[in-house]
Each structure stands twice: as C-alpha cells, then as structure tokens.
C-alpha cells in the first residue's frame, strides 16, 4: 500500500524559561512526521539535538531528501542507513512504528512482546538561584523523583537548598558537561551526604577519559558523551549509567538496541528526552521498560501538551500512552 509522507514544523512555548549549562530555552521547536497509507496514519516527533546543530530546518531538509525513498517503500531497516542518528531519523522511525501498529491493529507492546509497566518519571528543575530552585522543588511536591540541572556556579549550595526543601525526594543531578574532573572529585563527599542517586554527564564530551581513576560512590551517567550505538563500545565502559534519548540515537529502533546492549553489559539505563510533547515521550516510554532512571517529563515543561497526552499521576507515575496518542 502506497505511503505519503508529510513533514510539519510545530512550536510549543515553555511554561517558563528553562536553563541548563550554557543554554536557556523558551520555546520547543519540533518536527512532526506523518505517514499515511489512505487508511492509517502514523506520527512521530523530534526536537533534534541542539548541540549537534539540529534545527527544524535541517531536520526538514534531511527528511525531504529521502521522501521519495520512503514513499517508494523504504523500511525501518533502510532508514537506519539513509539517515544519520539524530532528530530527523527519530521522527521518521517513530512514525513508522506507529503506522505499523495502526496497520496491524495491535499495540506496540504486542509487536515487541513486552508487558508494559507504569513508569515513575523525574521532574526536572532548571538552573536558577538557590531560592528559585528550592521553590520549584516544592512546586513539584507530587513528584517523588527530581532531576536537578547544575553548572559550576555554586552547585552544592543549590543542592543543599533543594534537599532542605524536599528531604523526601530521590534526586539525580545533571551537569550537562559543566564540571571538570577536579570539581567532580571535590563535590563527591557532599553529594553522598545529600543522598544524590546519580550524576549525569559531569564532564565535557570528549574528556571522558578524565574519569579514569575517579572512584565515585555515586553512579556516573553518560548523556552527551554517548549519542548512539557507534559510540557505545568506546564510551560505555567509563560510565555506570547510559542515558538513551531517541533524538540522539535516531529513533526507537536503535534506542531499543542500545537498551538491550546496556542491560546485557550490566549497566544501569536511563531514558531521557530533549523536551517535547507526549508524542515524543510515548516511544521513549517503550525504552523506559528497560530503565532504572526515567526522564519523560517534557510535557510538564510546556504551556500546553497535545490531545491524548500522557497522564502524570501522584508520585510522578506515568501510565502507558493511549493508542490515540501513539503506538
């Protein structure tokens, strides 16, 4: 059955400016892919990877460059070769999974032989003043798990304020490449005292070898340093936790391969997101079935999510996505 592909840019304002090391975001600019066969429609969303130069325009150009191949019947396996890892392939790959589910009249769980379990997501706190970050931690009182963005500007003071505001919370921190080896080593004793569960991406991408010899009592996670399977063999041995983002690796197909590889290697696994609507979080929910750390809170950062969005329940528990949304 012939397929038609449509690529659309969509913009979703954030509820408030969101800051991480080196960047502040105000609006999430995404790309949607629609695949239609006359009877069924599959959808996928991508935010892209801003630090690799992904933009709406570059993703649209990549997708339109293979439009004829897709409409001529290119498969999921084909697009792994036609497009590099990144946002464009992610949106298309996820749309293909969704279309297959619609054509077969089954949920994604049946296609993959999984029994979905509810996931508990973190709520993410962007960088601000001590008082601002503590206030946001209190606003997220219904979330049992928090992810705290930090840079090198008085990070421990900010963490102390958050811990005082939320003594009950499980907390992971995400430095987004903002520390040096020395800052990490100096911070570790207090991070232990503050009961931090994981430190994500402490060092800049490319400086991962500086972790050799660091005896961390807290698991260290790779995000920007490990984008896709092609980087796994070199980088994974340096980390305890592998953060899989579908925008980085180029879709659910490779994301599942990465998750299974990490589990096989005895690594802990995290599923993350580049912010986006529930259409982006839904396929990430599938990867989340393999994960100890779950970060699919993108929609709560937006002014408004899309119809049939994920439901965030007390504690941060998220039920499986409905069929009307995706998969």
102 is catalytic: no
149 is catalytic: yes
The tokens describing 81, both together, are 């070769």
Domains of the chain are 4-111 (3.30.390.10), 119-318 (3.20.20.120)
The structure tokens 């796994």 sit at 232
Find the catalytic residue in 102, 145, 147, 149. Answer: 149
* CB-neighbour burial class of residue 17 (10 A; exposed 0-12, middle 13-18, buried 19+): exposed
Per-residue pLDDT of the chain (327 residues; tens, 9 = 90+): 789 999 999 999 999 999 898 889 999 999 999 999 999 999 999 999 999 999 999 999 999 999 999 999 999 999 999 999 999 999 999 999 999 999 999 999 999 999 999 999 999 999 999 999 999 999 999 999 999 999 999 999 999 999 999 999 999 999 999 999 999 999 999 999 999 999 999 999 999 999 999 999 999 999 999 999 999 999 999 999 999 999 999 999 999 999 999 999 999 999 999 999 999 999 999 999 999 999 999 999 999 999 999 999 999 999 999 999 999
């Amino acid at each position: 059955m012939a397929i038609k592909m449509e690529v659309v840019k969509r913009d979703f304002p954030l509820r408030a400016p969101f800051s991480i090391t080196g960047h502040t975001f105000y609006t999430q600019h995404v790309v949607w892919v629609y695949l239609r066969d006359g009877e069924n429609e599959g959808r996928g969303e991508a935010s892209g990877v801003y630090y690799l130069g992904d933009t709406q325009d570059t993703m649209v150009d990549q997708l339109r460059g293979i439009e004829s191949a897709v409409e001529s019947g290119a498969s999921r396996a084909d697009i792994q070769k036609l497009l590099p890892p990144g946002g464009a392939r992610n949106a298309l790959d996820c749309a293909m999974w969704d279309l297959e589910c619609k054509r077969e009249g089954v949920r994604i769980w049946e296609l993959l032989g999984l029994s979905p379990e509810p996931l508990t997501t973190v709520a993410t706190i962007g960088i601000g003043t001590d008082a601002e970050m503590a206030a946001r931690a209190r606003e997220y009182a219904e979330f049992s798990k928090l992810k705290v963005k930090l840079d090198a500007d008085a990070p421990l003071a900010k963490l102390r304020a958050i811990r005082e505001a939320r003594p009950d919370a499980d907390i992971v921190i995400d430095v987004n490449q903002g520390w040096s080896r020395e800052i990490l080593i100096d911070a570790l004793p207090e991070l232990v005292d503050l009961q931090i569960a994981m430190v994500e991406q402490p060092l800049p991408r490319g400086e991962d070898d500086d972790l050799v010899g660091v005896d961390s009592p807290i698991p260290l996670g790779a995000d920007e340093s490990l984008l896709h399977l092609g980087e796994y063999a070199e980088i994974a041995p340096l980390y305890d936790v592998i953060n899989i983002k579908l925008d980085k690796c180029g879709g659910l197909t490779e994301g599942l391969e990465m998750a299974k590889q990490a589990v096989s290697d005895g690594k802990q696994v995290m599923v993350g997101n580049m912010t986006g609507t529930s259409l982006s979080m839904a396929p990430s929910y599938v990867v989340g079935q393999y994960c100890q750390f779950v970060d699919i809170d993108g929609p709560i950062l937006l002014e408004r999510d899309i119809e049939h969005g994920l439901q965030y329940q007390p504690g941060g528990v998220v039920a499986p996505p409905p069929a009307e949304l995706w998969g």
